[in-house]
Amino acid sequence: MPPSPINIGGLSQRTGVNIETIRYYEKTGLLPPPARSQGGFRQYDDQHVRLLRFIRRGRDLGFSIASIRTLLALAARPDLPCADADQMVARQLGEVERKIADLILLREELRKMTNCCGEVVAECQIIGSLTAPHDS
């Protein structure tokens, strides 16, 4: 006996993906359209669950929709070498490392701004540092 179809609410609950996001992924072709019941309701299956979990995990790792589309295409061709996937992950890792470096700089800037020591806003080092020229 085949598994029962899953409605969009059930798919959302199983994958942790918002219903509107699921509809968006369908609209853009990232997620294939589901079968429809006689009443027109979407009927998802286990393949949709697997794909949506793949997409969600990719988004959690910071991959763009375009990158996820490419990764899905690669996943559909298990006979291909994984060099392209390796390169995509290396690029994403580089981007994450750049963001971490930026966040470390941001943290240091904010630390410098703490403990203003001014009694009134006119003496506030925080306000002054926000108006001072910034080295980009």
Kindly report the three-state secondary structure assignment for every residue of 53-109: HHHHHHHHCCCCHHHHHHHHHHHCCCCCCCHHHHHHHHHHHHHHHHHHHHHHHHHHH
In this prediction, residue 136 carries a pLDDT of 55
Q: So where are the chain's domains? A: 1-80, 86-136
Tell me, what's the pLDDT at 124?
Answer: 75
pLDDT value, residue 132: 73
Nearest to 50 by CA among 15, 9, 76: 15
**Residue 51, helix vs strand vs coil:** helix
For 23, the token pair is 């509809």
What's the fold here for domain 1-80? Multidrug-efflux Transporter Regulator; Chain: A; Domain 2 (1.10.1660)
In the predicted model, residues of the chain with pLDDT beneath 50 are none
- Residue-wise pLDDT for 104-133, tens only, equals 999 988 887 777 676 777 777 777 777 777
- Is the whole model's pTM more than 0.85, yes or no? no
